[in-house]
Amino acid sequence: MFNPHDFHTPQSSYAEPDLLRSSEGGYFGPGNAQLPAPPMLMMDRITDIGIDGGAFGKGRVAAELDVAPDHWFFACHFAGDPVMPGCLGLDAMWQIIGFWLGWSGSPGKGRALGVGEVKFRGHITPDVRLVRYEVDLRQVRRGRLVLGIADGRVFADGACVYLAKDMRVGLIAPAG
């Protein structure tokens, strides 16, 4: 497996072109973590990423999505009552954890492995302008299995609308 830091020098923030390059694969080296391509890429930028800090001192990531009334999910969820599916907010946080694992130097392909608890306290509609994701790593295991366990929050124009605890993302070795 390739060491992600042989291909990428960690930065403290990332603009949309960086995230799009990550979705093409190889950003952290062949066979390593990558973000999904649009339209499943659920963020426009990472505003802050760190190896320590956050609520548990193990790492933190903040990312944002600019919401437009014509985002693809509003047209189909729900007709006449458009709302961003809650699972997309959860997926965005899984994406962030996988990116953090590659960014922090662990090899392998990211896979969401589960979540302990999710609470929805509101929703994201076409009237919302900015979604902010905040993820705090609680535990990071690096060995045969690379595992990131984190808690996260989703904010719609500053109001917390989703809470998730014990989100788990693993990095698996590429086949071959």
Instruction: List pLDDT tens digits, range 35-82.
Output: 999 999 999 999 999 999 999 999 999 999 999 999 999 999 998 999
Spatial CA neighbour of 87 closest among 2, 9, 154, 11: 154
Q: Which of 5, 8, 71, 77 is the catalytic position?
A: 77
Q: Is the pLDDT of residue 10 over 90?
A: yes
Q: What is the reported pTM?
A: 0.96
Instruction: List pLDDT tens digits, range 115-135.
Output: 999 999 999 999 999 999 999
Q: Which residue has the higher pLDDT, 143 or 171?
A: 171
| pLDDT (0 to 100) of residue 161 | 98
77 is catalytic: yes
Supply the mean pLDDT for the chain: 95
Q: Give the whole-angstrom CA distance, residue 3 versus residue 17.
A: 22
pLDDT, mean of residues 82-86: 97
Instruction: List pLDDT tens digits, range 87-97.
Output: 999 999 999 99
